[in-house]
Amino acid sequence: MKLEQQLREMQRKTLYSAAIEDGGLTVTGSGGITVEDQEGQKIFFTGSDPSLPLRPDGSQQSTVVVRDDAGQTRLRLWDPDPLAANGYTQAMWQYDHAGRPVFTTDVAGGLAEPWLNVPLYCMYAMAPGRYPYTYLPIADLVGNIWEGRVSYVSHPVIQVDGTWGQATGVNATDYFLDIGPSTFSWTAGLLETTNKRFDVSHLLGDRNVPIALRATPHAGSTGAVAFQVLGCCLRQT
């Protein structure tokens, strides 16, 4: 009778209650484990997922997916673009109830989203009045013009948005961003409002990192130079 019952259980392929002791449970190949709620909604899956883009070698990605009871994915481990130039690296993605990413890790290390603002403070005071942007006479481009501090380097890229270049006269200027032991630079001639991005992945995990912006005019420059920071943030690659 016991053997007949075991055969019936095998035919049903449904396990109603089980305890796994020493040795654990191993799922190999293209298998996976799915958890469904009482309505049959898949709320958890881990294993090989054929719906994801293939790895560079043509094999399926393994993943972990958590969904809410409305069927919306809230957590996923995957690489949405395995053939990208930065190589195949899975990242953790967390979504809100509408499917918008609210937290992701970066393939270069650290966080990708959300971006985090880095406050910068102007060390130069212009005369009272209203101005479209901060600008300095060539002679006043001495020392740091903007300063701040990164409490924790959590992302692999820093971005600074601003207005740079020729405000009056004729000039070209080299701008410098100092963050910790690293210095990045760019050159502006004509007036422009742009953002500059720099790789700080080597500083990931560092705390209380000083950051400063300064500038050096080219020889023969005259007039004034625009130096308006509009925003600064840590962001993804």
CATH number at residue 167: 2.60.120
Residues 60 and 142 in one domain: no
Q: What is the pLDDT of residue 53?
A: 94
Domain ends where: 59, 74, 105? 105
The answer to whether residue 18 is domain-embedded is no
Q: What is the pLDDT of residue 140?
A: 93
The answer to whether residue 148 is domain-embedded is yes
Residues 203 and 167 in one domain: yes
Residue 104, number of CB atoms within 10 A of its CB: 17
Q: Which residue has the tokens 């190949």?
A: 29
Domain ends where: 53, 74, 105? 105
The answer to whether residue 6 is domain-embedded is no
Give the range of the structural domain holding residue 223, as residue numbers without chain letter: 116-235
The answer to whether residue 128 is domain-embedded is yes
Residues 141 and 175 in one domain: yes
Q: What is the pLDDT of residue 127?
A: 76
Closest CA to 73 of 89, 90, 92, 88: 92
- Residues of the chain with pLDDT below 70 are 1-15
Q: What is the pLDDT of residue 4?
A: 64
Long-range contacts, 86-93 (Cβ 8 Å, 24+): 86/237, 88/55, 88/56, 90/61, 90/63
Q: What is the pLDDT of residue 19?
A: 79
Residues 52 and 132 in one domain: no
The answer to whether residue 20 is domain-embedded is no
Count how many domains the chain has. 2
Q: What is the pLDDT of residue 12?
A: 60
The answer to whether residue 53 is domain-embedded is yes
Main-chain phi, psi angles of 123, to 5 degrees: -95, 5
Are 73 and 64 in contact by the 8 Å Cβ rule? The answer is no
Q: What is the pLDDT of residue 78?
A: 93
Closest CA to 74 of 32, 102, 113: 102
The answer to whether residue 59 is domain-embedded is yes
